[in-house]
A and B are shown apart, each in its own frame.
Chain A
């Protein structure tokens, strides 16, 4: 009986009898089915195959878990937990579009620090201020000090606050009345949170930013803050919240809000 070149499937000879056709087709179909399954042993969404040491038979590699990377061990592919390397990992990048608030939730605890970087966050109107909270906690658990420089003067303060505000809205992390469309004018800044994933340590907060207060006729504010989030709970949420007014946040063209994990 003849066979195919690559997989050796049995096919009828040219001289085979027509009456044996059904059996020949069935035999060929079974062979094709067996070979196909051998080459594609996947059973689950995300599975992949690789060539085994047996000809025409692949080995199934089940899907890994979140965060795992494909590596090689013992000469074959396998999934492994990603090795932590120094540097920044972009967790999420968002472009605000008429947002009254932005929550980053389910933040992985696999980094040493969190870094929030934003630019071009423009208010839709004057009359509003935005700040940042952690784990949606609005209790007086933010022991903050800070100072700001502004065109109209300087200020300094400190208190146990209900957000990373130091005092009044002069320290607003995402600006106060920052509705100018000039690129330098909307809220721009950085915030670093250390020990964020610890369930035993308090969280250290440091940040600086700038914005253009259009409600006061155009006063540039540059606050710098430092403090402690007085909680031993791991941070899994970072919340940009509106504290006054009804304005919304929209990123100017080619600007965004980025949350990084730092190792």
Chain B
């Protein structure tokens, strides 16, 4: 349930997410997943470089930290 507080009257309404809110979450989900995929891609690229250099994960962390 979504909670809606009217800060002027202190009235509280609880209701299910409406269609517009559900549609917005789908849009948000795509954006978040895209950002996650981009981060994973970068991590994989970083790991590939580390592998080429023969660095362990701990060595890589030490180097970048």
Given contacts A153-B61, A243-B32, A244-B32, contact A94 B7 (CB under 8 A): no
Out of A108, A131, A241, name the residue touching B7 (CB < 8 Å): A108
CA distance in complex: A263, B33 (Å): 39
Give the complex CA separation of A162 and B25 in angstroms.
11
What's the Cα separation between A163 and B31 when bound, in Å? Answer: 11
Q: Are A102 and B3 in contact (CB under 8 A)?
A: yes
Cβ distance B56 to chain A, nearest Cβ, rounded Å: 15
**Contact across chains for A105 and B4 when beta carbons are under 8 A apart:** yes
Contacts of A197 in B (CB 8 A): none
Instruction: Render B25-65 as a binary contact track against A, CB cut-off 8 A, 1 for contact.
Output: 10111011101101100000000000000000000010010
User: Within the complex, what minimum Cβ distance (angstroms) separates B9 from chain A?
Assistant: 7
Number of residues from B at the complex interface, CB < 8 A = 27
CB within 8 Å of B: which A115-172 residues: 129, 131, 138, 153, 155, 162-163, 165, 167-170
Chain B hits for A252, CB < 8 A? none
Chain A interface size band reads 35 or more
Which residues of chain A are near B4, meaning CB under 8 Å?
A: 102-103, 105
The answer for the CA separation of A170 and B16 in the assembled complex, in Å, is 27
B2 within 8 Å of A (CB atoms): yes
Q: Does the CB pair A92–B7 fall under 8 Å?
A: yes
In the bound assembly, the distance between CA atoms of A220 and B35 in angstroms comes to 19
- Are A104 and B5 closer than 8 Å at their CB atoms? yes
A107 on the interface (CB 8 Å rule)?
A: yes
By the criterion CB–CB under 8 Å, are A243 and B2 in contact? no
Top-4 shortest CB links A-B: A168-B35, A243-B28, A106-B8, A101-B2
Residues of B within 8 A of A (CB): 1-10, 16-17, 21, 24-25, 27-29, 31-33, 35-36, 38-39, 61, 64
Chain A residues near B (Cβ < 8 Å)? 66, 91-92, 94, 96, 98-108, 129, 131, 138, 153, 155, 162-163, 165, 167-170, 241-245, 248, 259
